[in-house]
Every structure is written in structure tokens, then in C-alpha cells.
Amino acid sequence: QVQLVESGGGLVQAGGSLRLSCEASRDIFTINAMGWYRQAPGKQRELVGTITSGAYTNYADSVNGRFTISRDNAKNTMYLQMNSLKPEDTAVYYCNANIRGYSYWGQGTQVTVSS
């Protein structure tokens, strides 16, 4: 099991940057698959990107080149650096950890991008 807590959301103008953090309640070194998802009002939750224990990353086309996922195993924390933010990036952002086929979710953090 793991508890995940996101932080770092807020209100930012278009073109700005934010960094989200996802702190885990246990070591993440052995968690192979972690990722970020987002859910905008009236829309389904969608994948933003993932990172493996070997730091291999994969991103949705909509954020590729603007967002970067990283992980600091010593701090049990995963990050989402978001640059060149657009109004369409407005959503609740969730972190996810997949442990032996079971998905664990954080409570989410709101990101609002104003035009």
C-alpha cells in the first residue's frame, strides 16, 4: 500500500509555469510505474504522462515538450514540471502509483490557467 499526497497547484497565467509534487508514504524505489493524470470539468480523467523506476518517461501528445515528469527516490517524491501552460491545461491533477496491478491515487490538486 501507499498513500500519495499532491501539492503545488494553483492559479497561473497562460505561458507560466508550475511544479507539482507527489509525496508517497513509503519508498518509491521499487514502484515501477508512476504517473500523472488530470481531469477537467465535464471530461474524463486522462493520462498526462508516466515514469518508470528507471526514469523512462512517456507523455500525452498534448503536453509533450511542455511538461516533464521526474522522481526523487531519496525523497519518495515524483514531480510534474509544467511550462508554457495553456488554459486548456486547467484541471485537477492526480498522481498515480501502480503496485502489483493495483492503482493508488492521490486526492488531487487544482491547476487553473487564466488566459
The 10s digit of each residue's pLDDT in 54-92 is 899 999 999 999 999 999 999 999 999 999 999 999 999
pLDDT greater at residue 47 or residue 30: 47
The 10s digit of each residue's pLDDT in 14-35 is 999 999 999 999 999 889 899 9
Burial class, 71, CB count within 10 angstroms (exposed 0-12 / middle 13-18 / buried 19+): buried
In which element (H, E) is residue 12 found?
Answer: strand 10-13
pLDDT of residue 7: 97
pLDDT of residue 64: 97
pLDDT of residue 23: 97
pLDDT of residue 32: 84
**C-alpha dist (Å) from residue 15 to 2, 46, 59:** 34, 22, 19
